[in-house]
Amino acid sequence: MSLQRIDPAGLHATPGYSHITVVEAGRLAFLSGQCPLDREGRLVGGDELLAQVDAVVSNTLVALEAVGAAPVQVVRTTIWVVGSDRSDLGAVWERLRASPLSDAFTSASTLVGVSLLGYPGQLIELDVLAALLPAA
């Protein structure tokens, strides 16, 4: 598998992600949006945004491990955050970049503020696409 991350000179500098990720691989894993829920489906973190981020990181690591992937194999993320305050978006980005999942955010990524997500009290959801190593 080959991953190439590209930041063309004609585009703006980024806070850690790449504008383009090229994958020379045949197998991809599309993770469902990872939510801040525990195994029983209960919301983790209450109304604390960063606690919910930590729960999403944990769940995403479990999902990646289930398909034999590491964060560095993530080639695309979309981060959905409830709210209209840009400082919340920035805080989420910083928390994700400092987490054990940080390598996932060096690829193509989009951070979006939204008004509502699927579960009551949910403040964040993470959509992930990973390139898998060829099967042995």
Structural domains of the chain sorted by starting position, each given as residue range(s) with its CATH number in brackets = 25-132 (3.30.1330.40)
Of the chain, the percentage scoring pLDDT greater than 90 comes to 69
What pLDDT was estimated at residue 136? 47
| Residue 6, pLDDT above cutoff 50 | yes
* Helix H or strand E encompassing 65: helix 49-66
pLDDT in tens, 52-110: 999 999 999 999 999 899 999 999 999 999 998 999 999 999 999 999 999 999 999 99
Token pair in block for residue 91 = 């805080």
Mean pLDDT of the chain: 91
Q: Of 18-27, 28-37, 127-136, which one has max mean pLDDT? A: 28-37
Residue with the bigger pLDDT between 42 and 11: it is 42
What is the arithmetic mean of pLDDT over 35-51? 95
Can you tell me the distance from the alpha carbon of 93 to that of 89, in angstroms, rounded to the nearest whole number? 6
- Closest C-alpha among 40, 39, 34 to residue 124: 34
User: For residue 1, what pLDDT is reported?
Assistant: 66
pLDDT at site 27: 84
Name the strand (E) or helix (H) holding 97: helix 86-97
Considering the entire predicted model, what is its pTM?
0.85
